[in-house]
Amino acid sequence: EDKVVQSPLSLVVHEGDTVTLNCSYEVTNFRSLLWYKQEKKAPTFLFMLTSSGIEKKSGRLSSILDKKELFSILNITATQTGDSAIYLCAVSLNYGQNFVFGPGTRLSVLP
């Protein structure tokens, strides 16, 4: 059975802290791993990773994939209250469709 696991499930930090969110997977026919941020409504896309060891960055957020150890991390530096959200990890199994999502990490950033 295809499975995506995220840890921690919940995290509370203060503004300015750095956080690392983890995503591990056991799937067949891996194509890519994606990170989404979900605030009140629709998940919004952050990163798509297909190759091991290549870091993707967007401002204070960065992510990297390890296809040998089957995991990815999402780092957020100098956190802000606006980073409070659920962060979802998903794995794409084959061409186009069929994404498996993890349970999400709920991040709360306190002022």
Partner 1 sequence: NAGVTQTPKFQVLKTGQSMTLQCAQDMNHEYMSWYRQDPGMGLRLIHYSVGAGITDQGEVPNGYNVSRSTTEDFPLRLLSAAPSQTSVYFCATSKGDQPQHFGDGTRLSIL
Residues that bind partner 1 (CB under 8 A): 4, 6, 9, 31-32, 34, 41-45, 48, 88, 90, 92, 95-104
**Contact 12/110 with Cβ under 8 angstroms?**
yes
Strands 44-49 and 32-38: antiparallel
Which residue from 18, 36, 30 is spatially nearest to 88, judged by alpha carbons?
36
Distance, in Å, from the CA atom of 105 to the CA atom of 84, rounded to the nearest integer, reads 10
CB 65 to partner 1: min, Å: 15
- By C-beta, is 44 or 77 nearer to partner 1? 44
Cβ distance to partner 1 smaller for residue 17 or 93: 93
Question: Reduced to 3 states, what is the DSSP secondary structure of residue 81?
Answer: helix
Nearer to partner 1, 82 or 96 (CB): 96
Closest distance of CB 104 from partner 1, Å: 5
